[in-house]
Amino acid sequence: MSNTERTFIMIKPDGVARGLIAEIIRRFEQRGFKLVAMKLMRAGEDLLQSHYGELADKPFFPKLVKFIGSGPVVPMVWEGKDVVKQGRAMLGQTNPLQSAPGTIRGDFGVDIGRNVVHGSDSLETAEREIALWFDKSELNDWDLPLKGAIYE
Ligand code: IDP
Ligand code: MG
């Protein structure tokens, strides 16, 4: 487990529309994770079909791609110890109704198709998603000044 593990977190159009950008960033910052990349963008269909490629057979796939492309999203890369797994825990379950209060989806969501935020489900997925959404030059290598207060 390395302190430089990275995950891909994305605020979906519903999260942006509901004014939750700052709230979601705040949670990752305050937890002690380091922001490596972030942008606001409208995702095209090719990118989204590739991003959600493994769900292409699901009945909800066309609706999913259409919705995520319906407005701006905030893709981000966060770095830190065990951040892939911890990021998923901070998001909650896919269905917000099954998400514990205290998680992002459990605090802000109701419907599975409006679950506010995306997070990579494994280290492999994270690497694939980061490469898909960001150019290498957009990933910032910088030192977290407080790291001695976050890591032993
Ligand atoms: P995840 O986002 O928790 O990793 P996935 O199974 O990867 O969940 O599904 C991707 C996204 O597709 C979900 O976040 C959700 O927005 C949507 N989705 C998943 N299952 C359903 C469903 O049964 N109906 C409608 N939308 C769904
Ligand atoms: Mg997923």
Q: Is 51 a catalytic residue?
A: no
Query: pLDDT for 81-105, tens place per residue?
Result: 999 999 999 999 999 999 999 999 9
C-alpha dihedral sign at 146, 31, 114, 22: negative
Residue 12 CB less than 6 A away from ligand 1? no
pTM equals 0.98
Query: pLDDT for 64-75, tens place per residue?
Result: 999 999 999 999
**Cβ-based burial of 119 (10 A; exposed 0-12, middle 13-18, buried ≥19):** buried
Please name the residue whose Cα sits nearest to atom 15 of ligand 1. Answer: 113
Rounded distance, CA 34 to CA 118, Å? 17
Please name the residue whose Cα sits nearest to atom 20 of ligand 1. Answer: 112
Output phi, psi for 99, to 5 deg: -90, 135
Cα angle: 52, vertex 127, 3; to 5 degrees: 135
Of 118, 129, 130, 133, which residue is the catalytic one? 118
- State the DSSP string of 124-136: HHHHHHHHHH--G
